[in-house]
Structure 1
Amino acid sequence: MPEGGHRALIQSIKDAGMKVGMTVKPGTPIDALYEFVYDLDMVLVMTVEPGFSGQKFMGDQMSKVEALRKRCPDLDIQVDGGLSPSTVDAATQAGANVIVAASAIFGSDDRAGVIKALRESVVKNGHGQ
């Protein structure tokens, strides 16, 4: 961490012409990001404990997505963990506009169909094209 902490790190990333994001694990309260959220380009809300693919979607994490979307309507909000065609609507209805669904896609015989369903949920709930 550079001298100046998180804020200095965020600025140095932006000065290098890159986008900045932070991740919130299930056990981390969303307000831990509020000090920095207006300086971020994206927040990743984990809906499983980080570590391995194939875990069950934690729907209780959608309150974090809702709080972020309310506070920052233009922020890219990514959700990762346990997402599939049967869980993606909860994420996009809460305000997620970026979806990670590795197990659902790569574990399916119909990858194109899964991707289509995920994309349609984002668009249907007003967060994408």
Structure 2
Amino acid sequence: MKKVEFSPSLMTMDLDQFKEQITFLNDHVGSYHIDIMDGHYVPNITLSPWFIQEVRKISNLPLSAHLMVTNPSFWVQQLVDLKCEWICMHAEVLDGLAFRLIDQIQDAGLKAGVVLNPETPIDTIFPYIDLVDKITIMTVDPGFAGQRFIDSTLDKIVALRELREEEGYRYVIEMDGSSSRKTFKKIDAAGPDIYIVGRSGLFGLSEDIETSWKTMCQDYEDMTQKVLS
């Protein structure tokens, strides 16, 4: 059975327990998901490259920056300079920029990802799908935590898995949005490689991060009938 990877969305963590939560999660997850919002592409403003520097002080795990911004060119070099392992950009703002920014990221020895909103079809990224290292499927509208899960987005995960197998592409598939006890079963059926977990799936389950983690794992096992290793 394929191992499930959970990537906590640090936007939704309790910043009063920043060090405690990161220190615990370091031993249990494969990466961290860091949302960077500019207040234009989405209304919110949250986190920044500075936050990546703070996480680096207490974690050596790979960091994945999700750029919810209208001008990815402004942010990419900052993240390259910080050696952020994954830099993921929305397909909707990459017209005329995709090849240059993917090269800029990969030439620095880092990994380039592309993110698809619920309304954005997979064929939008066909011109460069063979180049990207990760594809993130938004299962909610971007920019806010706690939104309604959009079931139809799971079809894109299935299609991307089939396409990867047929064409030999190298990308990993990630889902982002409302991953929790209510949705684990249908997400598991679609089969992404990485589950981003936020407030509903992890941080909001208890004030204690260890209890939250154990509850999340039990929720996953209960709903999928699969045992996490």
Category of TM-score, reference length = shorter chain: 0.7 to 0.9
Partner residue in 2 for 1:40: 132
Cα gap change, 1:48 to 1:6, in 2 (>3 Å): same
- Structure 2 residue 191 is the aligned partner of structure 1 residue 95: yes
Moved over 4 A (4+): 117-122
* Structure 2: unaligned runs, 5 residues or longer: 1-72, 74-95
- When normalised by structure 1's length, the TM-score is 0.82
Instruction: Note closer, same or farther for the CA distance 1:22–1:118 as it changes in structure 2 (3 Å cut).
Output: farther
- Between 111-120 and 15-24, report the one with greater CA deviation: 111-120
For the aligned residues, what is the CA RMSD? 2.4
> In structure 2, which of residues 204, 209, 213 is the aligned counterpart of residue 107 of structure 1?
204
Percent identical: 32
Contact 1:47 1:61 in 2 (8 A): yes
* Residue 64 in structure 1 maps to residue 160 in structure 2: no
Q: Residue 44 of structure 1 contacts residue 78 of structure 1 at CA under 8 Å; is this kept in 2? A: yes
**Alignment coverage as a number of residue pairs:** 123
What 5-or-longer segments of structure 1 have no aligned partner? none
Equivalent position SS for 1:49: coil
Specify the code of the residue in structure 1 equivalent to 2:202: I
Deviations 1:8-42 (A, max 9, x none): 22112100110010000011111111221111111
Q: Would the alpha carbon gap of residues 17 and 118 (structure 1) be closer, same or farther in structure 2, given more than 3 Å must change? A: farther
User: In structure 2, how many angstroms separate the alpha carbons of the residues matched to 1:102 and 1:46?
Assistant: 13
Determine which structure has more spread, i.e. the larger CA radius of gyration.
2
- Contact 1:20/1:42 (<8 A) preserved: yes
Q: Which residue of 2 aligns with 1:84?
A: 180
Q: Which has the higher strand share?
A: 2
CA shift, 1:101, in A, is 1.7
